[in-house]
Amino acid sequence: MRSFFGRFKFLGIVLLLLSAVIIYLFYNALKPKKLLPVYSPAMVNSELVPEEIQHIRKYHTIADFSLTNQNGKTITEADYRDKIYIADFFFTTCPTICPIMTKNMADIQAQIMDDPNVLLLSHTVTPQIDSVAQLKKYALEKGVNDAKWNLVTGDKKVIYELARKSYLAVKTDGDGGPFDMIHTENFILVDKEKRIRGFYDGTKKDAIEELLEDLALLKASYLE
């Protein structure tokens, strides 16, 4: 009799484990899959979007550009063609949020080092100070890998227009003139079609973790 109940107990445990596995599989099958939005100006806080493009609801992409990196090389949208990339805006003499952002971007660089499909792009917002030589010095200090991460300088008006009208990353007041200054903690995730897929606080570790999770989702979407 004891042997019979012992076998019954074993069967009950097996059935319980099997039920748990089935429930887990059903849960994952029915759980909504996270989809990354494709951001357009109409979806973003109007303070971050110039009035003339606030009506755009789709087909927003990053504009073509031509800037100079830490090695004096001209960097254009062609260098990022068919790549996913993460962009931000910084300046080398910033004493507040930029060192934190650069450290977090360096951590992302370590995560994507062996992935040929993902790159990084940091734009200086003080191009009058951040010459090629200054960017190179900063790149060496911060562990920038030239094959993965471009620090770019160029015409201030061009960079500021990219920040405001393409990346939708900063408040719209200002014209890129001598007294205009932008300062944003945003990291922007851009897909292979030059579309914005996410905004993240580059000073916060939890936001960086979210960015990496979204990056994995974005990469997987190109394999489907």
Q: What span, in angstroms and rounded, lies between the C-alpha atoms of 194 and 35?
A: 17
Least confident of 30-34, 36-40, 87-91, 190-194: 30-34
- Decide if pLDDT at 16 tops 80: no
- In which band, very low, low, confident or very high, does the pLDDT at 88 lie, cut at 50, 70 and 90? very high
Measured CA to CA, the distance from residue 11 to residue 158 in angstroms comes to 71
Task: Enumerate residues 6+ apart whose C-beta is below 8 A from 102.
Answer: 90, 122, 142
pLDDT tens per residue across span 164-219: 999 999 876 766 777 567 889 999 999 999 999 999 999 999 999 999 999 999 99
Per the prediction, the chain carries an average pLDDT of: 88
- In tens, the pLDDT along 43-59 reads 998 888 888 898 898 99
Triad 94, 100, 101: Cα angle to 5°: 85
pLDDT digits (tens, 9 = 90+) for 89-107: 999 999 999 999 999 999 9
Q: Which residue has the higher pLDDT, 220 or 8?
A: 220
CB atoms within 10 A of CB 15: 10
Local structure of 134: helix, strand or coil: helix
Sign of the alpha-carbon dihedral angle for 68, 88, 214, 221: negative
Both tokens of 11, joined, read 């069967």
DSSP run (H or E) holding 98: helix 97-112
